[in-house]
Structure 1
Amino acid sequence: MIARLKRCWRAVAAAAMLMPLSGIAAAEAPYPTRNVTLVLPFAAGSGTDTTTRLISKELGVALGVGMVIDNRAGANGSIAANYVARSAADGYTLFVTTNTTHSANPYLLKIMNYDPIKDFTPIARTGDLPFMLVIHPDIPANSVAELIALAKKEPGKYSYASGSSSASVSGATFARLAGIDLLHVPYKSSPPALTDVIAGRISMMFIDVPTGLPHVNAKTLKPLAVTTKRKSALLPDLPTMDDTVKGFDITSWQGYLGPANMPKDVVARLNAEIRKIVERPDIKSQLAERGMEAFSGTPEEFDAFLKEQLVLWERLIADAGIEKQ
């Protein structure tokens, strides 16, 4: 009986010794061990949402976990940005965003509850999303020059919608450089803004190519020009805004960030996987079909780019005469 009790005690003691070891092993399990949430500052159906879903599917396969898309539209993307900035910096809550939250908002919003540099960890830039100017098909203009002529003939008659900072700044820049009076109608996100342009309630808008292209192909919107100085490979026949309105050159970028102070090994793993995905010819092709010019780089390059873009967008917004709201 005594011998049996001794054997039991030895078994209990051995199990007790193994428990902390198993806990350590679990704590040191390689990232990731559970689903990763990608927070987006725009609604489902936006250009950022469309391209992110393609990349995230491949990223989930590479990481061996599920990817959860969390669309948190509103307040020029600052609701989503603030949420990520206050999240745990463990790599399980990431931010897929654009120049709206990290280049333009500091110069558009009077109240901002996050710092675009200090509150985030750059992970990887994934490419650029060019915008285009689209109008309702009933408007009797087939070029930017003809649209400007109509607006000058009837000041205040024509309006432009915006569902992002890029769209808002593009519209204001167009009005200023062309010397025309346009009514600005802001929306929470691009899809509802686009709906009202298609319905004829709003005259025009600057929309990212991924979101606007299906409607252009369906002839429910008329495209006039792309916002970049160089032509879009996807829309080679479409002129640039700069062809008519000299000095017009606005591009929207896209990238992955996390909360500040993320572990370096987690950032390195995410950056490596995202870059491999973005550089794949099949993914590049599919992103191009969605209007995105895909490319990437190191976290350090993305960090430097973010700081450069803050300077650029401060000038764009100041030149456009937009005051903080």
Structure 2
Amino acid sequence: MPRVIVAALAALLSLSHVEARAQAYPSKPIRFVIPFGAGSATDALARIIGQDLEQTLGQPIIVVQKPGADGALAAGEVKRAAPDGYTLLFGTNSPLAVAPNMQKDPPYNVLTDFTPITFLGENSFFLVVHPSVPANSLAELIAVAKASPKPLNYAAGNTYAFVSMAMLAKRNKIELEAIRYKSEPDAIADLLSGRVQVMNGTATSVAAHVKAGKLNAIATMLDVRSPLMPDLPTLIESGQSQFPIVPWFALVGPADLPADVVATMNKAMVAALARPAVREQMERHGFMPKSSTPAALAAYMKDQLAIWKTALKDSGIEPQ
């Protein structure tokens, strides 16, 4: 009997511990590690959602910028973090689908080294040029590139910009030279000065400059026109086929993240992305919010790894 009682008490204590942990999380600030710098689209999105989560979770959300290596530096930090829910990767396609395909020896396995929490949505990209480039349409830009004695330079502040422009160049048999940056805020400065001539950029980085007449918009990468620039034609309207790749966001944690932590954060995120005030702020930046279950995100990441692998190969980009 004593042994039975001891075993029962141990089971009750264990259950109480699990319940206490579920009730306690979060009990301290949560770090969102992002793969790009301050002022980037990812930074803006993390802060918009973070402000809402602070109200619902009752703890500060700290946005930590860790740009570099196509997002692999940020992902690596989260991979090495304790699986307690206090260090999460507020990631994009860059660290979660592209970086592993661009390296011969990837520093992590997306499908086993991270715990999916929720999909966050997709982003809008706009093809813009410096006013010195005599092009007001994609067809004119292609003609300028073909007539130029040397390749036009394009700024790439993220992997979507890098790969999509490489794909555009190969499809149209033109030469474009990529100038790569750790983050869009670094790239936009060179574009505005004319040191680079073309950029496929997010609304966060380019919309205000287009409105001010400092950059000329050529097309949107969306399959429908964007309400942010309704007069701008889509890729298809510009005579091109749609790219097979899309820029997206997702929240993941380290491997072995407890199920109750995943459930708590997923529930809070799904609620935040459904709130009209949050959605309105996101849409002003060109974000298209969309949440998911952890399982759906896991399946999506697996598909995206394959899609981006093919896209890189078709664009002539070899793993380094």
Question: How far is the alpha carbon of 1:65 from its aligned partner?
Answer: 0.6
What is the DSSP-based 3-state SS (H/G/I as helix, E as strand, rest coil) of the residue aligned with 2:311?
helix
Q: 2:63 maps to what in 1?
A: 69
- Cα deviation code 1:93-149 (max 9, x no counterpart): 011011011111122123321111111011111110121111101211100001111
Counting only pairs closer than 5 Å after superposition, residues 147-226 of structure 1 correspond to structure 2 as 147-226=141-220
Q: What is the alpha-carbon distance in structure 1 between the residues aligned to residue 20 and residue 297 of structure 2?
A: 32
Moved more, 115-124 or 148-157: 148-157
Q: What is the alpha-carbon distance in structure 2 between the residues aligned to residue 306 and residue 155 of structure 1?
A: 41
What is the DSSP-based 3-state SS (H/G/I as helix, E as strand, rest coil) of the residue aligned with 2:67?
coil
Q: What is the alpha-carbon distance in structure 1 between the residues aligned to residue 68 and residue 253 of structure 2?
A: 19
Counting only pairs closer than 5 Å after superposition, residues 89-168 of structure 1 correspond to structure 2 as 89-168=83-162
Gaps of 5+ in 1: 1-19
Question: How far is the alpha carbon of 1:312 from its aligned partner?
Answer: 1.2
Matched residue type, 1:279: A
Structure 1 residues 179 and 155, CA gap change in structure 2 (3 angstroms): farther
* Equivalent of residue 310 in structure 1, options 299, 305, 309: 305
Q: Give percent identity, aligned residues only.
A: 38
Q: What is the alpha-carbon distance in structure 2 between the residues aligned to residue 27 and residue 117 of structure 1?
A: 26
Structure 1 residues 59 and 225, CA gap change in structure 2 (3 angstroms): same
Q: What is the alpha-carbon distance in structure 1 between the residues aligned to residue 151 and residue 120 of structure 2?
A: 39
Matched residue type, 2:43: D
Structure 1 residues 262 and 282, CA gap change in structure 2 (3 angstroms): same
Q: 1:319 maps to what in 2?
A: 314
Larger radius of gyration: 1
Matched residue type, 1:258: G
Q: 1:272 maps to what in 2?
A: 267
Structure 1 residues 163 and 295, CA gap change in structure 2 (3 angstroms): same
Q: TM-score, normalised by structure 1?
A: 0.89
Moved more, 165-174 or 182-191: 182-191
Structure 1 residues 118 and 159, CA gap change in structure 2 (3 angstroms): same
Q: 2:253 maps to what in 1?
A: 258
- Cα deviation code 1:26-65 (max 9, x no counterpart): 7675211101011000001110101110100111111111
Question: How far is the alpha carbon of 1:247 from its aligned partner?
Answer: 2.2
Q: What is the alpha-carbon distance in structure 1 between the residues aligned to residue 22 and residue 294 of structure 2?
A: 24
Q: What is the alpha-carbon distance in structure 1 between the residues aligned to residue 23 and residue 121 of structure 2?
A: 32
Q: What is the alpha-carbon distance in structure 2 between the residues aligned to residue 101 and residue 78 of structure 1?
A: 5
Q: What is the alpha-carbon distance in structure 1 between the residues aligned to residue 261 and residue 183 of structure 2?
A: 31
Q: TM-score, normalised by structure 2?
A: 0.91
* Equivalent of residue 296 in structure 1, options 291, 298, 302: 291
Matched residue type, 2:231: D
Q: What is the alpha-carbon distance in structure 1 between the residues aligned to residue 184 and residue 107 of structure 2?
A: 23
Is 1:168–1:186's contact at 8 Å kept on the other side of the alignment?
yes
Q: What is the alpha-carbon distance in structure 2 between the residues aligned to residue 87 and residue 208 of structure 1?
A: 30
Is 1:155–1:181's contact at 8 Å kept on the other side of the alignment?
no
Matched residue type, 1:97: G
Q: What is the alpha-carbon distance in structure 1 between the residues aligned to residue 311 and residue 232 of structure 2?
A: 23
Question: Is 2:71 the partner of 1:59?
Answer: no
Equivalent pairs counted in the alignment come to 305
- Cα deviation code 1:158-198 (max 9, x no counterpart): 11111111111011011011110111111121111111011
CA RMSD of aligned residues (A): 1.9
Structure 1 residues 190 and 28, CA gap change in structure 2 (3 angstroms): closer
Question: How far is the alpha carbon of 1:213 from its aligned partner?
Answer: 1.3
Question: Is 2:277 the partner of 1:282?
Answer: yes
- Cα deviation code 1:188-223 (max 9, x no counterpart): 211111110110000111112222212222222111
Is 1:130–1:251's contact at 8 Å kept on the other side of the alignment?
no
What is the DSSP-based 3-state SS (H/G/I as helix, E as strand, rest coil) of the residue aligned with 1:80?
helix
What is the DSSP-based 3-state SS (H/G/I as helix, E as strand, rest coil) of the residue aligned with 1:242?
coil
